[in-house]
Amino acid sequence: MIQIKNIHKYFKTKEKVLHALQGIDLNIEAGKVFGIIGRSGAGKSTLIRMINLLERPDQGEVIVDGTDITKLSVDELRKLRHQIGMVFQHFNLLNSRTVLDNVIYPLRIAGVDKESRKARALELLKLVGLEDHVHKYPRQLSGGQKQRVGIARALATEPKILLCDEATSALDPETTQSVLALLNEINQKLGITIVLITHSMDVIRNVCDEVAVIDGGKIVELGEVVNVFLHPQHSTTKALLSESGVDADAWKLFSDNVHGDVIRLTYHGVAAAEPLLSHISRELELNLSILQGSVGKIKDTPFGQLVIVVNYPEHTPAEQAKAKMKAFFEEKNVDFEVLQA
């Protein structure tokens, strides 16, 4: 659906030339919710604005449905943008127009007849839960309600792609959750591809299927959210997770006082509910203690992660017991990683 190939972007100032995007490559499948996360200045806003060419690359290709959109004419690009909706951080509503008129506005520009555009706008306001607010003005709405209007407006022209530029960063935590739930509902009901940028791993965890971590204009980690969240590789990813309360290396605080093998177990889906530790400890007569643990949900997938210390019985060779334990967990689709031996 969306391919970004070797994208480079430069911004010139009086003092220097900033290389904002440095050889970005991404493939975003149709129907997925794809997250781009990074700190301020990492390049994520510039990157998402490449998808509808609000920012043009200095080098590289942006391919949507097989077409390199950097080569389109002005008229062709205008038509393409009807297929790409955008939701903004600060809503960007027309304060002098009602909620209904804000949603109607892009349909009027697109040349949709009066009766059809009103019907479409009312349908969308019902979808986002604002059917009772159609005649209000933006100043009469809460932040969450304003963003729902922004989402309805972005969907007006029936786009295939929805871009969300920090769509929840101006909202309180409870409202953020409701807006993320709405985006998830829209993705499931309409099959629309959603690309969002954020600085929060909690947003990624709640709504995204795949994620790209960007730092210094480069993609430093990329993959399914479950894998990136539970097995972070890059220091930037680990730092972002730690800031959201998930520190995969917290067990190291106790490492000097540990006697035995330190093992990380990661499981998701059905395995998250099974009493695996009690089973293996009885079967192999292991002494187990938990150094660190967490449970939760990544989008719709329950997960758990434990860091345990294992001491083996004296009558069984340690390597033999470890091999049996590893085989047991792998059979149960639990990732088994020796952190310290």
Contact 308, 329 (CB under 8 A): no
Give dist(CA 214, CA 335) in Å, integer: 26
Please report, for the chain, the start and end positions of each structural domain, with discontinuous segments joined by +. 2-243, 250-340
Contact 122, 156 (CB under 8 A): no
Give dist(CA 145, CA 82) in Å, integer: 23
Give dist(CA 197, CA 55) in Å, integer: 15
Q: What is the DSSP string of 17-82?
A: EEEEEEEEEEEE-TT-EEEEE--TTSSHHHHHTTTTTSS--SEEEEEETTEEGGG--HHHHHHHHT
Domain 2-243: give its CATH code: 3.40.50.300
pTM for the predicted model, two decimal places: 0.87
Contact 70, 56 (CB under 8 A): yes
Contact 339, 283 (CB under 8 A): no
Give dist(CA 114, CA 116) in Å, integer: 6
Give dist(CA 67, CA 256) in Å, integer: 57
Give the CA angle between residues 15, 20, 24 to the nearest 5°: 155
Could you read off the pLDDT tens digit of each residue along the chain, which spans 341 residues?
899 999 999 999 888 899 999 999 999 999 999 999 999 889 999 999 999 999 999 999 999 999 999 999 999 998 898 899 999 888 889 999 999 999 999 999 888 999 999 999 999 999 999 999 999 999 999 999 999 999 999 999 999 999 999 988 888 888 999 999 999 999 999 999 999 999 999 999 999 999 999 999 999 999 999 889 888 999 999 989 888 777 777 777 777 777 888 888 888 766 666 777 888 888 888 888 888 888 888 888 888 888 889 888 887 788 888 888 888 888 888 888 888 87
Give dist(CA 266, CA 304) in Å, integer: 6
Looking at the domain 250-340, which fold is it?
Alpha-Beta Plaits (3.30.70)
Give dist(CA 327, CA 264) in Å, integer: 14
